[in-house]
């Protein structure tokens, strides 16, 4: 069940860039980032409340779950989480859905580096080789065969850089989440992290001069009735399903599997997104996308196996 739980979370995440692409004509990126975190925080709070009430009913108020604790690692994780969502959404608005989950894998490399620098962890030869493969794969996707003059002027390049920055922020979140989990339950630490991330993203929303939503119709609009409500269903799906529910599946899996096994199971994530983006958005399957995805997945597997061997 734990493996299935992590795989479900990975499949849910693979749809995020595609759904955000459908949301792009209707909402500003700052509103999408804020709404995702706000809805996920509400969902997570309701789940924690239900768990606490169930625990009290079963144990007659004994050994109930501890209250969520806010400390320096939780605050740091929450701030990085909020910035991650702002950068990731802004990047997806400016690049292809196919490229997004490939470039985001830079988070695996940066998390390993942060573990070495901050936590004093050691780097195995297999992890180092995996990191190089991962970076080469990401580099191929960012380059995409463009001349260097056109590359730096391309909006896709800016989008890929924003997604890469989002990946770096996620690794900071992952590091402080790892520190916070030494003394706290996964679900109990997630709620304040989501709330802090929501607060950070709300600052971006308030600073954004563009309107948070519009009624514009575009070619990405799906046919059929309910055109007015459909964009809001995208937001609900992103916040509750792709964020809140997926992190619950992740929490369930992490209780029963180590982090390296979790990373190994989620490594095919970029391949899922490529196929979904081609199928739904008709994005082209270029050689740079395929080679970049393949090398990145192999790199993530190498880093994961290297970390697992080092742990043993």
DSSP, residue by residue, 115-164: HHHHH-PPPPHHHHHHHHHHHHHHHHHHHTT--HHHHHH-HHHHHHHHHH
For residue 23 the two structure tokens come to 């949301």
pLDDT of residue 219: 45
pLDDT of residue 63: 47
Taking 50 as the pLDDT cut, the residues of the chain under it are 60-64, 219
> Taking a C-beta distance cutoff of 8 angstroms, is the pair 95, 159 a contact?
yes
pLDDT of residue 311: 55
d(CA 213, CA 194): 23
pLDDT of residue 48: 84
> Taking a C-beta distance cutoff of 8 angstroms, is the pair 162, 94 a contact?
yes
> Taking a C-beta distance cutoff of 8 angstroms, is the pair 89, 24 a contact?
no
d(CA 206, CA 189): 26
Q: What is the pTM of this model?
A: 0.86
Q: Is 268 exposed, middle or buried (0-12, 13-18, 19+ CB in 10 A)?
A: middle
- CA-based end-to-end distance of the chain: 24
Q: Provide the Cα torsion 70, 71, 74, 80; round to 10°.
A: 120
pLDDT of residue 223: 52
């Amino acid at each position: 069940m734990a493996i299935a739980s992590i795989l479900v979370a990975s499949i849910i995440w693979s749809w995020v860039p595609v759904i955000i692409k459908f949301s792009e004509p209707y909402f500003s990126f700052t509103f999408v980032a804020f709404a995702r975190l706000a809805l996920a925080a509400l969902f997570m709070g309701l789940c924690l409340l239900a768990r606490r009430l169930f625990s009290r009913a079963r144990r007659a108020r004994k050994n109930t779950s501890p209250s969520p604790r806010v400390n320096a690692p939780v605050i740091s994780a929450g701030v990085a989480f909020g910035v991650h969502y702002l950068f990731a959404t802004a990047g997806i608005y400016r690049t292809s859905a196919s490229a997004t989950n490939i470039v985001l894998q830079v988070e695996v490399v940066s998390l390993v580096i942060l573990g070495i620098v901050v936590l004093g962890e050691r780097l195995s030869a297999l992890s180092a080789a995996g990191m190089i493969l991962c970076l080469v794969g990401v580099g191929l996707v960012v380059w995409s065969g463009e001349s260097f003059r056109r590359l730096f002027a391309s909006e896709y390049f800016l989008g890929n850089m924003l997604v890469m920055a989002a990946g770096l922020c996620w690794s900071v979140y992952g590091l402080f989440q790892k520190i916070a989990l030494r003394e706290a339950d996964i679900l109990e630490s997630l709620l304040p992290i989501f709330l802090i991330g929501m607060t950070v993203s709300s600052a971006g929303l308030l600073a954004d001069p563009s309107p948070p939503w519009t009624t514009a119709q575009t070619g990405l609009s799906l046919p059929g009735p309910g055109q007015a409500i459909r964009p809001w269903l995208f937001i609900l799906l992103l916040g509750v399903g792709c964020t809140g529910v997926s992190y619950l599946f992740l929490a369930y899996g992490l209780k029963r599997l180590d982090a390296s096994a979790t990373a190994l199971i989620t490594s095919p994530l970029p391949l899922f997104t490529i196929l979904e983006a081609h199928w739904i958005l008709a994005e082209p399957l270029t050689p740079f996308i395929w080679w970049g995805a393949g090398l990145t997945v192999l790199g993530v597997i190498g880093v994961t196996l290297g970390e697992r061997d080092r742990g043993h």
